[in-house]
Amino acid sequence: MIQKLILLIGSVFLFLGCQNNEVYSSFCKKNIKRPTCLKIKSLQEETKSFIQKELTELEFKDRCDFTLEAMYYNVKACTNPMANSVGTDFDGYARITLLYKDECYYKVQQDYKGTEWQNSMKAILKHIKDDVLKAQ
């Protein structure tokens, strides 16, 4: 009976340990004014339009001191045999770097499992709203 209980508890911890949805964020510079506008740079058009729909607090302009560089990357798209042989516990990551006058101001990233980069991007944008837009 005790062995079954230990096995059950161990399985739960193993499963929960694989569901790491932690968002990693950090400021590169502090004491910069709060953004009032953003210029978005992304190689993926779907990422750019997703951010414009989700981040309604700011005006998007082509000329702005703040640039938001956004991307997501699916590891399965990697064709390097050396990288693929190691294996990973995630399928991709979503990352945003906020630049002020072309220098890093804030960066945030989250790994994801499966193909749902949008959920990670939403979590990242929440951090930007909480850490950058509500600060100061």
- The answer as to whether 109 is a domain residue is yes
pLDDT tens string 31-47: 888 899 999 998 788 99
- The answer as to whether 21 is a domain residue is no
d(CA 55, CA 121): 11
pLDDT class for 87, splitting at 50, 70, 90? low
- The CATH number for 43's domain is 3.30.160.670
pTM for the full model?
A: 0.73
DSSP notation for 83-122:
HHHH--S-SEEEEEEEEETTEEEEEEEEEESTT-HHHHHH
- The answer as to whether 6 is a domain residue is no
Q: What's the domain count of the chain?
A: 1
What pLDDT, on the 0 to 100 scale, is given for residue 114? 77
- The answer as to whether 14 is a domain residue is no
- The answer as to whether 15 is a domain residue is no
| Average of per-residue pLDDT across 70-88 | 66
The whole domain housing 65 covers 26-133
Please say whether the beta carbons of 71 and 42 come within 8 A. Answer: yes
Please say whether the beta carbons of 88 and 75 come within 8 A. Answer: yes
- The answer as to whether 90 is a domain residue is yes
- The answer as to whether 18 is a domain residue is no
